[in-house]
Amino acid sequence: MENPSAAAGTSSAIAVVEAFLRALELLDLDGAAELLADEVVYQNVPLPADRGKEATMKTLRLFMRFGDHFEARIHNIAERDGIVLTERTDVLGTRAAPLTIWVCGTFEVRGGKIVLWRDYFDIATFLVQATKVFPAVALHFAKSLRSAG
């Protein structure tokens, strides 16, 4: 029989990651920030890592300026000892011009907070798609600058 405390730990770490991704889907950055540890490290490999909640949230706010849509389609999710692995398709940008990117994510959860979030994706696929949707994304970004100014 499975150890009940191990099962509880598994579901809670997975639940934290699922809640985090759901908050991002809802564009609820405050809700997402509540699930990040102050010392979180966030990295889109191969890009440089953000260190700390403030830097991570700055990056997420920047991403939101380029689009108004995010969806995380989780295909597989697994956990061991607080490390949660996701295989997913992220859909981001605008609804009219979405980027669809296959992503593998690693999350480390401690004390109910994400302390590490590292996503791996094919940057060549991203760049090819980005060039196709750039005009729509640029228009959205320009509109967001006008409304913020």
Residue 65 has pLDDT above 70, yes or no: yes
28 classed as catalytic: no
Q: Of residues 64 and 77, which shows the higher confidence score?
A: 77
Residues 6+ apart with CB under 8 A from 104: 85, 86, 87, 88, 119, 120, 121
Q: How far apart are CA 98 and CA 117, in angstroms?
A: 23
| DSSP 8-state secondary structure symbol assigned to residue 92 | E
Catalytic annotation, pick one of 30, 68, 90, 122 = 90
Catalytic annotation, pick one of 38, 50, 68, 119 = 119
CB half-sphere exposure, 96, CA atoms < 13 A: 9
What's the confidence (pLDDT) of residue 10? 46
143 pLDDT band, cuts 50/70/90, is low
Q: How far apart are CA 58 and CA 74, in angstroms?
A: 25
> Which residue type is seen at 86?
T
Is residue 80 exposed (0-12), middle (13-18) or buried (19+ Cβ within 10 Å)? exposed
Q: How far apart are CA 15 and CA 4, in angstroms?
A: 16
Peptide bond into 46 cis (omega under 30): yes
What's the confidence (pLDDT) of residue 128? 74
Diameter of the chain measured on Cα atoms: 60
64 pLDDT band, cuts 50/70/90, is confident
Q: Of residues 50 and 97, which shows the higher confidence score?
A: 50
| DSSP 8-state secondary structure symbol assigned to residue 96 | S
Q: Of residues 118 and 1, which shows the higher confidence score?
A: 118
Three-state DSSP class for residue 23: helix
